[in-house]
A and B are shown apart, each in its own frame.
Chain A
């Protein structure tokens, strides 16, 4: 007897026992849909975190030093920038200032830096321009505002070309940064960026304690970090505790290992429910075998071989579970859509997970169908015929 005929027969028998089939499938449906929803959620948050970290700047190293005697002078920064694998450096002096525009005044953090900051930290202007070398050379009193700051001070009006008072000094706004949103707790939108030379005077601080370095290649970052650390060690001998070099990649690796294990855990939990669904299928198939003993007897008397009966029940359970799998995928996708729109979550669906969930449900059906099907195929036709 052909497989196609078996599948037809299986559909028939599933159809003739609708309620029971639905209840049996429910276990698989819940299992598959929870695998899809949970894994998509975990993967969604992984991509979210990765994006956020990338927004801070790609291939980024941050050098921090502590104390005035460990200041990074222009000479030392030049040395760092000449290291192999370093693409750009951006020294930063930061502090807090009072910013006033017309009658609005607010406390803002200010960053004094160089033009390279834009590429190193992956920030772009949505309007106007960023700081240029000329601004630094001529100590221009210009400022680039973060998008939130711009909104606070100018409440929707175009800030470019306007003047603001920073600690009582007038600065001209030349640009507004594109919004990056808050990532990992710190907002990149609440900031005033001024040229390094102007900022040093504004903050009355000439020591640079923070430098961002951008590597040329993602794969070289560990090497570059070692290089920078060696350079710093030669610059500040016996002071290893007074500076740190942190790698963006470290953070990324930590975060991705956390989210990966989360994905695995959630997938595992959902997988267990699939397994439980499989046991449900086995249970029902066993009941079905004993209920249909007479039918099996008739089929055997008429000439069904062991293989035919085995195949019939095996395919029935496989069809049942794979139907549950398909419904579960559809259900999971709908549930994911509802969840993501209701709770504003990022879900990333991967077709490979759906395919895997489907295959797993099919495998569950086959594995848990083997025992009942084998039992059915082994029935003695004489006794099965006598069974009422």
Chain B
């Protein structure tokens, strides 16, 4: 629990929308240690998505430093970013983002496919991953044949498949009803307990509260604990 897995220093990111400069991230600094369960909470337009894209290595900062396991992400090219995403990060999206034409198992296999793992090991690892989320019996089903909760569990299995350093969940319960939301959050808790580092991005305070640590983001600025904003979010 001591070595920081993510070190962010003075991260800046600006967008130009119609001639107006928007500071999506303004001087953001953050440190995340191995095995943490961190929630990043913020309303829409707060820079939450930009931060997530940055953490997920989908985007590069304008200035500042992002070290993932000691490696400087800002200096990497597209191909290197792709392999970092492949090996170090497991994405869990709000709307699952499963490939509809592939079965659950094949979806879970996908990151391993791009990692160049042989077919046999791929299949075994993917199956194991599906077992972790309790969907081994649905391996041959297409996403359309699964319920929302099951689809999200497949997505979690996919994120786990390549055994990444961090799990990055973007509103994982946003498209689910409260009962399945609870299920998904329980899985997340369990995963954290067995040692996975989880970053949860949400606008929902009740979800965020289930994390061990919480930071809030507003107007591109990050605040630890988010304590001051609790009142502001109470309406959600």
Contact = CB atoms under 8 A, between A and B. Distances in A.
Contacts of A301: 56, 58, 85, 91, 97
Given A1-B113, A308-B114, A385-B97, A302 B91 contact: yes
A381 B58 contact: yes
A152 to B, nearest CB: 74
Interface in B132-171: 158, 162
B82 A303 contact: yes
B86 interface: yes
A13 interface: yes
B218 to A, nearest CB: 21
Contacts of B21: none
Contacts of B101: 12-13, 16
Contacts, number: 60
Contacts of B53: 382
Chain B interface extent, by class = 20 to 34
Interface in A1-40: 1-2, 5, 12-13, 16
A297 B82 CA distance: 12
B232 to A, nearest CB: 27
Contacts of A298: 97-99
Given A12-B101, A382-B53, A382-B59, A302 B116 contact: no
A179 to B, nearest CB: 65
Contacts of A381: 58
Interface string A348-388: 00000000000000000000000000000000011001000
B158 A302 contact: yes
Given A1-B116, A5-B113, A382-B59, A304 B97 contact: no
B110 A302 contact: yes
B58 A304 contact: no
Contacts of B116: 1-2
A298 B91 CA distance: 10
A213 B113 CA distance: 76
A300 B85 CA distance: 9
6 contacts: A298-B97, A301-B58, A301-B85, A302-B86, A304-B86, A382-B53
